[in-house]
Chains A and B, each alone.
Chain A
Amino acid sequence: MPIQLTSQAYCKMLLHAAKYPHSAVNGLLVAEKTKEKKKDSHSDPVLCVDCVPLFHGTLALAPMLEVALTLIDTWCKENNYIIAGYYQANERTKDSRPNQVAEKVAARISENFSDTAIVMVDSGRLTMSCFEPIVLIYDHHENKWKNREVTSDSFEDWNEAQKITSALLEGRSYENLIDFDNHLDDLRNDWTNPVINKSVLDLC
C-alpha cells in the first residue's frame, strides 16, 4: 500500500530540514489507525497525517532514539495513530539515499506496521517556492528498499501542501519548529508542534 502525505506532514518535514540546513535531520511519520484491514484494501493509500521531528546532527546513536520511539508510540496510542514511516534528510545535499540508520529505524517500525515507508527529503532541491515535491519515497520489496515515483497522488492535496509549505518557509516558521532534540534540551518544548499545526490549519 503506498503512502500519502497531508500538507501538515509534508510541511513539517521540510521546515525541519530548513531549520538545520547544515545537519542531517530525521523524524517519524504517523497515520491514523484503521479498525480492520479490509480484504481489498491493497490499493488504498495510507494517509500520513502528521510527522514528529526527531533529531538533528548525529543520527546514528541508539539511546535517545529508543526513548523517542517508545514515547511517541505511547502518544500515538492515545491519539489513535500508528507510526507508519520514517523521514530523513542527509547532511550532504547531494546525497538523498537512505542509509543504514534509515533502514534500521524503518525495520523497527515495520515490526508494528507492515507497509512502512522511508521518505527521503532531497534538500538539494529545497526552495522557497516549493514548486515541485522534493521527497523520495521508498517501499520495502523483496528485501530491498525501492524508490517509487512521486506524483501529486502521493499527496492528499499537492496544491495545498505546496502553498502552505511555501508560505511557512517564507515566514521563517522553521525557527519555531520543535524536534525531539529541542525537547530534551528543555522539556517545555513541545514536539507535537501545536503552534505550527495551528499555522497550517489557518492557511488551509
Chain B
Amino acid sequence: MRSSTEISWKKTSSRVLWTSDWAEEMRDKLRKWREDTCRNSEQIVDVGEELISEHASKLGDDIWIIYEQVMIAALDCSRDDLALICLQELRKQFPDSHRVKRLTGMRLEALERYDEANKHYDAILQDDPTNTAARKRKISILKAQGKSTEAIRELNEYLEQFVGDQEAWHELSELYINEHDYGKAAFCLEELMMTNPHNHLYCEQYAEVKYTQGGLENLELSRKYFAQALRLNNRNMRALFGLYMSASHIAASPKVSAKVKKDNMKYAAWAATQINRAYKLAGRGTKENKCSIKAVEEMLESMQITMS
C-alpha cells in the first residue's frame, strides 16, 4: 500500500517515480531469484550493483540479504571489487556472525586460497559443530580441487548426521553420476523420491539413471518411472522421450515374451503420438520449427522399423 507521503512525492517528480518503482521492482526480482535459487549471477550483479550504490536507502532490512546475494553473484563473475564492498558492509553490521564468516571463506575459495578458506570453516565448526553451511563449503572445496572420492566420502558422512538434507542428497547423486556409479546415484534419488513423492523431476532423473545402468530389469524400471513422472507432470518432455526410448528398447529386445513386446510397443506408440502432438503445438506459427517436427517424425518412424 502506498503511503500518503510517497504519493505526494510522486506528484512532484516523475523521474523520482521511475526510480522508486524501479528499486522496488528490482528488490522483488532479487527476492524471487533467491526463492527460486537461480544462479543468474551476471543479472544479479547488474541489478544489485546499481541497487546498492544508488538506492540502498529504499531497501529497508532487505539490504543485508541483498548484500549477501550480490556478493555471492559477484564472486561468480570474478568481481572481487564488488564482493569486497558487500562483505565489508556485512562485517560492519554483523561482526561476530558465522554466516558472514562463511562468506569470507567463500571469497577465499573464489580466489583459490583453499587452505585459508578451510581455516575459516574449521573455526566456525570449532565454535558450532552443527554448522551445516561450513561443512558443505568444505565439501565444495574438495569438489573444486577435483578430489571427488574424498568429497563423496565426506558427503556420505555428512548425510549420516543430517539425513533430511535434500540438497545434499541431490549433490551426492550428481557426484555418483559423474563417477559413473549409477547404482549409488539411484539410491540417493530413491531417498529424494521417498521424501518428495510428488516431485516429477526426481522421478524422471531416477528413470534416466536406471536407463543408463542398462539391462532389461533396469529398462523396465526406468519405463515405469518415466511414466510416473509423466503422471505427475504431463508436460515433462524428458519423461515423454524417456518413456518412448525405454519402451522401444524393451520391445526390440529378443529376451522378452510376446506379450511384453506387444505391451511395450503400445506404450511406445502412445508416447510417439504425444511427442508428435507436443512438437506440432510448439511449432504453430513458426517456420523454423518445421524442421524439428519433421526430424522427430522421421526419428520415431525409423525406431518403429527397428522394433518390428
Q: Which residues of A contact B (CB under 8 A)?
A: 21-22, 58, 60-64, 66-67, 70-72, 74-75, 78, 92, 94-95, 100, 172, 184-188, 190, 192, 194
Contacts and interface: CB of A to CB of B under 8 A. Distances in A.
B279 A187 contact: yes
B241 A190 contact: no
Q: Which of A66, A71, A100, A188 has the most CB of B within 10 A?
A: A188
A19 to B, nearest CB: 10
Contacts of B245: 63, 66-67
B211 A71 contact: no
A33 to B, nearest CB: 16
A75 B34 CA distance: 39
Contacts of A67: 241, 245, 299
B286 A62 contact: no
Nearest to B287: A194
Contacts of A187: 237, 278-279, 281-283, 289, 292
A61 B288 contact: no
Contact of A190 (B278, B289, B294, B296): B289
B237 A184 contact: yes
Contact of A63 (B174, B208, B302): B208
B303 interface: yes
A194 B146 contact: no
B209 interface: yes
A74 B238 contact: no
B131 interface: no
Contacts of B238: 63-64, 184
Given A71-B299, A100-B180, A184-B237, A64 B208 contact: yes
8 shortest interchain CB distances as A-B pairs = A187-B282, A62-B212, A74-B295, A61-B208, A74-B298, A75-B295, A63-B211, A67-B241
Given A187-B282, A194-B288, A71 B212 contact: no
B178 interface: yes
A196 to B, nearest CB: 13
A85 B289 CA distance: 24
A124 to B, nearest CB: 12
B257 to A, nearest CB: 24
B279 A62 contact: no
Contacts of A190: 288-289, 292
Q: Which of B209, B212, B291, B295 has the most CB of A within 10 A?
A: B295
A146 to B, nearest CB: 23
Nearest to B236: A184
Contacts of A70: 299, 302-303
Contacts of A63: 207-208, 211-212, 222, 238, 241-242, 245-246
Given A58-B178, A185-B237, 4 more contacts: A22-B76, A61-B209, A70-B299, A187-B292
A172 B237 CA distance: 28
Contact of A94 (B146, B211, B295): B146
A63 B299 CA distance: 14
Contacts of A186: 282
B217 to A, nearest CB: 16
Contacts of A60: 177-178, 180, 212
Interface string B269-291: 00000000011011100101101
Interface in B192-250: 207-209, 211-212, 222, 237-238, 241-242, 245-246
9 contacts: A58-B174, A58-B178, A63-B246, A64-B241, A67-B241, A70-B302, A74-B298, A187-B282, A188-B283
B144 interface: yes
B39 interface: yes
